[in-house]
Structure 1
Amino acid sequence: MHNAGYTGEGVLVAIFDAGFLNVDNIPAFDHLFDGNKIAATKDLVLAGSTTVFRADTHGTGTLSLMAAYDPENLIAGAYGANYILCITEDVDSEYRIEEYNWVRAAEFADSLGVDVINSSLGYNFFDDAEMNYSTEDLDGETAVITKGANMAAEKGILVISSAGNEGNISWKTITAPADAKGIIAVGAINSSFEKAGFSSIGPSADDRIKPELVAYGSGVTLWRQVGSTSTASGTSFSAPQVAALAVGLREANPDWTSKELRDQLILSGSQYSEPDNELGYGIPDFTRAMFGELFPVMDPEKATATRIYPNPLVADQLLIEFGSSTDCTMKLYSSDGKVISEHDLERMGKNFPYNVSMKLLNPGIYLVELQDDSTASKVKLWKK
């Protein structure tokens, strides 16, 4: 995303959390102050408070995973965006008033024209047990905060919510507002690309896939205190990574509706065709979300998936996933079967795509033929 030039410039993001202690003293956030990128702040917990840079470092960590710019330690995905910072969570107690704080913060952010909300919060149990939710209440319609998230989505705001960290306890499932409709709930994976044990699972009470997407959430490097980075685990820290991706896509596609943005993120998931209630639709991918993907084919002899993207091709660079070698040959045929060009391709490793310049290619339908030392495949390409 950064290689394509997108860092969130011109996009307005709101982060609702428990506090942003130290943000005003950590150099990784200096660019936010120097560039006037903190558009607004609001403390909805402490009456009379004029600062959000207090109370807790949880929000500091989530903000760092979207906005930190420290080339030696952490460059976050959306460091170029503008931010609204709101304290809605009271770390000293747990009551439903915090859900109403969230709704008020959403109204405040909406009044400023917010594009994306990141919410690394979750509610199920309260200090007053009569306020508790049951798993049956996670139906996308019951919890106060869930209703607020639904309203935000209906108003054209993309809401990204942490799925919850209940995977290792008897509750196991998501917490509100991750059950909301029209949002993206984000689970956590570990370094083996497997579900982190703590990550809450789905489905919602009305049997929708939850979480929708996942990102790395186990031992995540972030900024919380002055002087050095630290690591932390939780869906609180996987959600802002997906939110940062959404912000970059919003910058690149300002005409997309929030629903289109959500749909493209989900369609880009690594297991979109076979979703489950642990990883949802999988790990999102910027290039696939940005350009889409058509004409995937399977080589019947080698059972090797070949994918080319963006397809339709609207830019100059074509990316190719093919075979298990680090080099291959490519022939490009016109629709009438004539060879237009031949290329010897190389890549850094088998997990990297081949990159081919198509700058001089005229609009039309083409056939791409690929061959390495063990595999052959043909794929249609549409150049717009």
Structure 2
Amino acid sequence: MKQQIKERPWALQRIVFDQLWQNTKGRDAHGRPVRVAVIDTGVDNTNPQLAEAVDTKHGWDFLHNTKDGKNETAGDPKAPKDGTYDPVGHGTKVAGIIAARPRAGTGFVGLAPEATIIPLRQNDEKGSGTAATLAQAIRKAIAADADVINISQDTTKPLTTTSDLAAAVKEARRENIVVVASAGNDGLDGRLKDTYPAAYAGVLAVASSDRNNERAPFSQSGYFIGVAAPGVDMVSTVPRGGQCVDNGTSFSAPYVAGVAALLKAKHPDWKEHQIVAQIEQTAERTVNGRDSFVGWGVVDPVRALTEDAHPIDRPSADSGLAKAAPPDPAAWPDGESSQERMERYATYGVGAGGVAVAVIAGAAVVWRDARKRDTRTRATARQ
């Protein structure tokens, strides 16, 4: 088995789990686990922390299950067709952040460790997916009774509000499913840009923050950003066991999806837009309202689960949260000085050209993750 990371990851060190999990770890009052669809490169359930988390009955591989029965893109004709084939490792990391089970020898655990993952393999290192298969995957998630959908992908070009992908998102929301999507990793140029499906109305678009609750340099900025979440040096599960460290908004989105799963479990009667509003309202921010870098602020899982006396329909800027002081880096075990932060930013800038981009055919739906480190589970060349 691959090496386990013993320490509690920095993104989890700031959470008081006794408070976060005082009501639920991902199951509702009747014991039903919240169902989170991970539309990605598959979810490898041979990792011990995911073995009991994955619903193989309702999983699906849109690259493997072609109309002619051929398996040209999956690479292995004997690979399972239930969405658990993940030679890239991207989807396995996403799923772990949401629902990895506790395991002796590691401090890493998912935010909702009793939730269920529905694995929907829609892409690979070749960018073999299409906008059509992404829309199909959303509809498959609806049919599989998903409560939350995580999409850690974005587009290289704008899509219209009348596209089939937009229609699929609307269908999911009509079924009261929370849709969470990553904002993308093209933020180094500082330009505001909409990415899809994150920019579609009602989707909770997630940017990346660092240890200091600042926008990670690679994180895409835009008026559509809902919240930010940790996305730098993120620990999560990899195929066949163990963990690795990675960066990107792809790993910020599932952090928020895990919080959404806990809220769904605690408040099954809340509407999807109320779950989104709760996460946005309780986020930690230092400006009076929303901005284009971290949206309503950096997600605060404990506040989201404890300051929840009643549902709200939309976040507001007059809650007093804007008066909070910026976090002191020294307060966090892994805090860094301003000089160290600038040196890290410089590293991101130098490495910008190496950010992996997997381009999907057709409407060019892609995921972009900065500084890939697990070279055995992904392709290193830009697609």
Match of 2:202 among 182, 185, 195: 182
Aligned to 1:52: 83
Aligned twin of 2:300: 285
**Distance (whole Å) between structure 1 residues aligned to residue 167 and residue 269 of structure 2:** 26
Q: Name stretches of at least 5 consecutive residues in structure 1 with no aligned partner.
A: 125-132, 204-209, 295-304, 308-320, 324-348, 352-384
Tell me the equivalent position of 2:236: 222
Sequence identity (%):
25
Match of 2:247 in 1: 233
> In 2 relative to 1, CA 260–172 (structure 1 residues): closer, same or farther, beyond 3 Å?
closer
Residue equivalent to 2:51: 30
Cα distance in structure 1, aligned partners of 2:135 and 2:214: 33
Pair 350,59 (structure 1): closer, same or farther in 2 beyond 3 Å: closer
Aligned counterparts of 1:223 and 1:288: Cα–Cα separation in 2: 26
The aligned counterpart of 1:123 is 155
> What letter matches 1:120 in structure 2?
S
TM superposition shift of 1:306: 8.6
Alpha-carbon distance between aligned partners in 2 of 1:264 and 1:25, rounded to the nearest angstrom:
34
Measured in 1, the distance between the counterparts of 2:293 and 2:107 equals 31
| Distance in 2 separating the partners of 1:92 and 1:44 | 14
Is 1:99 equivalent to 2:99 in the alignment?
Answer: no
The alignment status of 1:6 with 2:24, answered yes or no, reads yes
Moved more, 169-178 or 263-272: 169-178
Alignment pair present for 1:150 and 2:170: yes
1:19 to 42, 54, 63: 42
Amino acid at match of 1:276: D
Q: CA 1:243 to 1:322, structure 2 compared with 1: closer, same or farther past 3 Å?
A: closer
Separation of aligned partners in 2, 1:187 and 1:107: 25
Q: Flag the 1:93–1:146 CA change in 2: closer, same or farther, 3 A.
A: same
Which aligned pairs between 1:140-289 and structure 2 lie closer than 5 A?
141=161, 143-169=163-189, 173-203=193-223, 210-271=224-285, 273-289=288-304
CA, structure 1 residues 306+227, in 2 after alignment: closer, same or farther (shift >3 Å)? same
CA distance in 2, matches of 1:276, 1:258: 22
State the 1:293 CA deviation.
8.1
C-alpha contact 2:184 2:249 (8 A) present in aligned 1: yes
> Post-superposition shift, 1:278?
0.3
Q: Is the 8 A contact 1:43 1:86 kept in 2?
A: yes
Listed as ranges, the gaps of 5+ residues in structure 2 are 1-18, 28-32, 70-79, 311-318, 333-383
Q: Say which one has the larger Rg.
A: 1
Take 1:222 and 1:30, find their aligned partners in 2: how far apart are those partners?
14
CA distance in 2, matches of 1:222, 1:269: 23
In structure 2, relative to structure 1, the CA distance for the partners of 1:293 and 1:286 (3 Å cut) is farther
> With structure 1 as the length reference, what TM-score do the two structures score?
0.65
- State the TM-score, normalized to the length of structure 2: 0.66
Instruction: Indicate conservation of the 8 Å contact 1:164/1:200, yes or no.
Output: yes
CA positional deviation for 1:19: 2.5
Q: How far is 1:174 from its partner?
A: 4.0
Q: Which has the higher strand share?
A: 1
Q: Measure, in 2, the Cα distance between the counterparts of 1:277 and 1:293.
A: 29
Shift of 1:228: 3.0
Counterparts of 2:331 and 2:239 in 1: how far apart (Å)? 39
Shift of 1:148: 2.3
Change (3 A) 1:77 1:6: same
Sort the Cα spacing of 1:224 and 1:350 in 2 relative to 1 into closer, same or farther, 3 A: closer
CA contact (8 A) 2:57 2:82 kept: no
Provide Cα deviations, 1:346-370, integer angstroms capped at 9, x if missing partner. xxx999xxxxxxxxxxxxxxxxxxx
Cα distance in 1, alignment partners of residues 93 and 217 from structure 2: 21
Q: CA deviation at 1:176?
A: 1.1
Structure 1 distance, partners of 2:324, 2:173, is: 38
Partner of 2:187, secondary structure, is coil
The one-letter code of the counterpart of 2:61 is: D
1:61-76 to 2 correspondences below 5 Å = 61-71=93-103, 72-76=106-110
CA contact (8 A) 1:84 1:109 kept: yes
Is the alpha carbon distance of 1:269 and 1:293 closer, same or farther for their aligned partners in structure 2, counting shifts above 3 Å?
A: farther
Q: C-alpha offsets along residues 172-225 of structure 1, whole Å, 9 cap, x if unaligned? A: 63421111101100000111211001100102xxxxxx2101110011011114
- Residue 3 of structure 2 is matched in structure 1 by none
Q: Which range moves more in the overlay, 180-189 or 66-75?
A: 66-75
